Amino acid sequence: MLHLKAHAAILKAYLKIMLTYRGMMILHLFRVVLMPLVIAAAWLSIEKADGNPYENSDYLLYYLLVPLVMNLTNSRSVFRFPVSVRDGTLSRELIKPYPPLMNIVIESFTNNLQMLLYLVPFTLISVFLFQSHFDFSFLSYKMVPISILAIFFGALTRLLISGSIALTGFWLEDVTTLNLLLNGSIWALLGGMIIPVATFPEKIRQIAELLPYRYMLSFPIEIFSGRLTTLAIYKGFAVMFFWIIIFSFTARFIWKRGIKIYSAYGG
């Protein structure tokens, strides 16, 4: 682990920079908090269909946790990387004996960390305000470390998928469309943003559980809510690891080809 000290130094640097430029965070916060709140309100106001395992209290807990998990698994690499290819700033990273994409990963992680500063109090206050509406009987402390583990690997999955899409920036001028399609819309639909995965119709749910999207949002919340059997948790991690391996190779493959056509513009 040669680079640990360097990772720490760079993380520190980004934290420092972000504390000096805080303005953008507020906008981002609205996006992360507002959308789940609106969707939650919609779910709470409609009649639930027969056979829907979620009650109002479940929806409430689910959507209160969505901002936290969504933020922790978020990756902004799709926006940063193509720019660094186009303006040639990737060259700065390539010249150093340090993993060239790590800067972007750490910067994105710092962003997520900083958002916690707002999100944690927001979530705690909300839980306090709505405590009479919750059903706490399913929750168990034992599930906390497992959910955190699921969030960590969910973040890794998302990073690798976003990263693979970001790396097509070696060829494509604009990767945001591809990202919106593969990572944004499908993620919102099948990851559990608009509809919690557990409440999908059986057939669709089975498909969603095999795709990577559920693991970036719904899965850690389902674990935390105490609604998954041990077997379902194991299965979930297995599927997630499968995607992590697939996209590690994909990202590597794209990188190896892309870096050869990188034209190091500028200078």
Partner 1 sequence: MKISTPNCDNCVFTEELGRDFNIRQKSQGLAASIKNFIRPSYKLVEAVRSLSMRIGFGEIVGFLGPNGAGKTTTLKMLSGLLFPSRGKLEVLGHSPFSREREFLSQISLVMGQKQNLWWDLPPIETFEIHRSIYNLDEKDFRGRIEELIDMLEISDCLETQTRKLSLGQRMRCELAVSLLHRPKVLFLDEPTIGLDILMQKKIRKFLLDYHARFKPTILLTSHYMDDVAALAKRVIVINNGLKIYDGLLSDLTEKMQPEKIITVILNSETFPKIEIPNVNIVSQESNLFRLKAPRENVGKLAAALYNTGLTIDLTIEDTPLEDIIGNLFTEKSNFQQFRTNV
Pick from 196, 187, 189, 186: which is nearest to 52 by CA?
196
Q: Report CA 4 to chain centroid distance, whole Å.
A: 23
Per-residue CA distances from 157 to 56, 191, 200, 206, 243 (Å): 30, 12, 22, 19, 7
Q: Is 137 or 263 the residue whose CB approaches ligand ADP more closely?
A: 263
178 lies in the binding site for partner 1 (CB under 8 A): no
Please tell me whether residue 263 binds ligand ADP under the rule CB under 6 A. Answer: yes
Selected range binding ligand ADP among 31-39, 79-87, 155-163, 257-265, rule: CB under 6 A? 257-265
- Least distance from partner 1 to the Cβ atom of residue 101, Å: 13
The reply to whether 2 sits near partner 1 by the rule CB under 8 A is yes
Half-sphere exposure of 156 (CA within 13 A, CB side): 16
Give me the 78-97 binding string for partner 1, x by CB under 8 A, dash otherwise: -----------x-xx-xxxx
Choose the contact partner of 95 out of ligand ADP, partner 1, none; CB within 5 to 8 A by kind. Answer: partner 1
N-term to C-term CA, the chain? 33
Instruction: Tell me if 260 contacts ligand ADP by CB under 6 A.
Output: no
Residue 8: which of partner 1, ligand ADP, none does it interact with, CB under 5 to 8 A by kind? partner 1
Binding of partner 1 at residue 1 (CB under 8 A)? no
Secondary structure (DSSP) of 105-129: HHHHHHHHHHHHHHHHHHHHHHHHH
Residues 13-42 that bind partner 1 (CB under 8 A): 13, 16-17, 20-21
Q: Which of 205, 176, 203 is nearest to 190 (CA)?
A: 205
Per CB under 8 A, contacts with partner 1 among 98-117 are: 98
Q: Is 243 left (phi over 0), alpha (psi -120 to 50) or beta?
A: alpha
> Is 30 exposed, middle or buried, given 0-12, 13-18 or 19+ CB atoms closer than 10 A?
exposed
Question: Rule CB under 6 A: is residue 261 a binding residue for ligand ADP?
Answer: no
Picked from ligand ADP, partner 1, none, the partner binding residue 44 (CB below 5 to 8 A depending on kind) is: none
136 sits near ligand ADP (criterion: CB under 6 A): no
Say which residue the tokens 């990963």 belong to.
105
Interacting residues toward partner 1 by CB under 8 A: 2-3, 5-6, 8-10, 13, 16-17, 20-21, 89, 91-92, 94-98, 259-264, 266-267
Site of interaction with ligand ADP (CB under 6 A): 263-265
